[in-house]
Structures are given as structure tokens and as C-alpha cells.
Structure 1
Amino acid sequence: MKILTIIFCSLLWAFAPALAENRLQDQITDITSDKMTYTGHDNIVIFSGNVHVIRAELELWSDQLHVHIKPQNAEQDEADQQDKIEKIIARGNVRIKSMNREGKGELLTYNPDTGQATLEGNPVLMEDKNRVEGEIVLINMLENTSEVLGGPDRRVRVIFYSESEQQE
């Protein structure tokens, strides 16, 4: 049971270092898409069509990416772009990858202030051959905690391999 807990936790926290590291400033974010729309009234930048984000060791793909920007106040430093983001929502065929770790789902919501990420829509987290799936995956990058929730249509499932099976 102890090995299962270790593997389970390592899978859930697999993306935490990459996403938490991305809170650091002075990193380049490269976003490509078929279209970008900014709606100043709603403070949202929408990237749509074949969205691909590269930041440090993290890559994200989705059909759409909505970046919700906080309303600007007088005390906010113009150079501090990371603090301007209220939340990020990736929709449709969401895939996130960091080194040998990968996550998939239909909806990813991330709040930089709280460090809370939610992956929904048949979410699956994988590291090498190991995988965790459920109905909703909740990860708090700031507190290094995670939770996988099952539901009426999908229970929590963990598949893990021993080290010798990983190398095959």
C-alpha cells in the first residue's frame, strides 16, 4: 500500500513543479494558434484553433485557451505580467506535457493566485507507463496537494508498474 501511495502522489504532483516554476518571472511564453481575439470589455484574450503553449519545460495544447486578465489598478506594476492573470482556461483536446509526464482532458482551469488547477472531462495523468484517471483531478501547486474524484460515471483508477516493468 505504501508503494501505491508513493506512485499515486508522484503522478498527481507530476505537473506541480512545472506549473509552479512557471510562476517565476522573466520566462518566455510562446503561444501559437490559428486566431487570437482580445475583448477589452471582458478582459479576456482568446486563442483558438490548434493552440500550442511553450513555457520553460511545460507544453500545453488545446482547441481554445482563454486568458482572463485582472482589471488594472493604479498600484499594479506594468512589468509584472504574471500577476495580471486572473485565470487560464484551456478547452477541447487539452494536453499538457512536462518531460516524461503528460496529462489529458477536455477542460483545464488554472488560477495563478491560488495555485489551484482543475482537470475535467475524462482526465488522465501519466508518467511513463503509470496512470491515474477519474472524473475530476484537483491539484494545488502552492500547497503540494492533490485529489482525484470519481463520480457516477467514472471511478478513480490507478495503474502503476514496478520499476522492472517500466523498463520494458
Structure 2
Amino acid sequence: MTNLKRISIAGFTVLIMLFTLTGRTEEKNSIMDMLGKGSDKDIPIKITSDRMEAYNKKDLIIFYDNVKAIRSDTTLLADRMDIYLNQKDKKIEKIVALGNVRINQEDKNATAEKATYFDNTQEILLEGSPQVWQKGNVLKGNSISMHLNEDRIIVNSADVQIKPKSMKNAPGMGKSKKETGNKESDSEEGAL
């Protein structure tokens, strides 16, 4: 069998195996939804890259350069993606995205240098200056661990910025000194 046919078969096999990623059937409403939880577990993932290598004996598939994975309304971009398969049933055991990792879903975003998804524990670990943001709310840390089954996030060295929903309508907020007649500054800057 030629190498091109092997790569085509391996690529098709990857698409079939990616169908098996597990998820929960809940409405998407949190930042963790973009990274694997949701009702779209049966929706295929399309992966494109400049190059792909499949190692059947190692149960490993590697995508190199300009990696783009799309599933439903979620897009993951990275320099490299390694997919580790279980030796027994060839299902996904772990996915590691490396280098300039960006995850986008509607108004939710995440960046890191490394993102690791563990299928058996339904955990996503973001490392390397990770940050997650949505509608002005920002979460940063040394590492961000998202436990999808538990709807729980663990952040080491947490740095959180929460944007109030309506600062302009809050009493004394968002108005200049002229509008309020107040001598103290009531501007939005520093109002957090």
C-alpha cells in the first residue's frame, strides 16, 4: 500500500475516532462549553494541517503546522496536535495541542501554549500563559484545569477580572463629574 493511501486511510480513521469524543447533553452556557462539553458529542471534528503522520504501532497521530480543528461552532488552532489512542479499542485517550493554541466559540475564547484533553477524566489542562475570556471577563493563571464532568475550574496563581454587567446604569457609575456634580471621579476607569 502506498504512503499516500496509508495517510488517507489514517486521516479517515482519525475522523471516525474523533466522533467518539464524549460530552454531556446540557445547554451551552459556560466558558468550559467551548472545550468539549455540550450536546454535540456525535458531531464530527474536521482537522486540517500542512502535514500529518500516523504511527500505527504507537497508536499516535500527529498533525503539524497550521493545525485547525473544527467541531460545530468551536475552532481550535495550534502549531501541532498529537492524538493518542487507546491500544485496546483505538479510541481517543488524550489530545495534546502545542504552540500558539487558540480556542474560539462564539463569544468565548481561550489561549495557551499547550492544551491537553484527557478523555477518561474529561479534563482539559491549559498551560503556558493560559487565559480564558468571555464578554470582558478574563481568567488567567499559571495553569487552568477544566473538569468538564464536574463543571469545575481549578486555576493555579489565579488572576481574575470580572466585568459588571451594566456599569453605566449603576448609581454613581459611568458618569462624569459634570453629570453628577460630584467632585470625586465617577468615571468607568477604576470602577471595578
The TM-score bracket by the shorter chain reads 0.7 to 0.9
Q: Structure 2: which amino acid aligns with 1:116?
A: E
- Secondary structure in structure 2 of the residue aligned to 1:163: coil
Match of 1:86 among 71, 87, 93: 93
1:23–1:112 Cα contact (<8 Å) kept: no
1:124 and 1:90 map into 2 onto residues whose CA distance is 15
1:17–1:141 Cα contact (<8 Å) kept: no
TM-score by length of 2: 0.68
How many residues are treated as equivalent by the alignment? 140
Q: In the TM superposition, what whole-angstrom CA distance separates every residue of 1:42-85 from its partner, at most 9, and x where no partner exists?
A: 11110010100100121100000001011134xxxxxxxxx700
Match of 1:70 among 80, 86, 92: 86
Alignment of 1:119-138 (within 5 A): 119-138=126-145
1:72 and 1:92 map into 2 onto residues whose CA distance is 30
User: Which protein is richer in strand relative to its size?
Assistant: 1
Q: Counterpart in 1 of 2:61?
A: 45
Q: Counterpart in 2 of 1:61?
A: 77
Q: Structure 2: which amino acid aligns with 1:100?
A: D
Offset of residue 113 of structure 1: 1.8
What are structure 1's unaligned runs of at least 5 residues?
A: 1-12, 74-82, 151-155
2:46–2:69 Cα contact (<8 Å) kept: yes
What are structure 2's unaligned runs of at least 5 residues?
A: 1-29, 169-187
The alignment's C-alpha RMSD in Å is 2.1
Structure having the higher Rg: 2
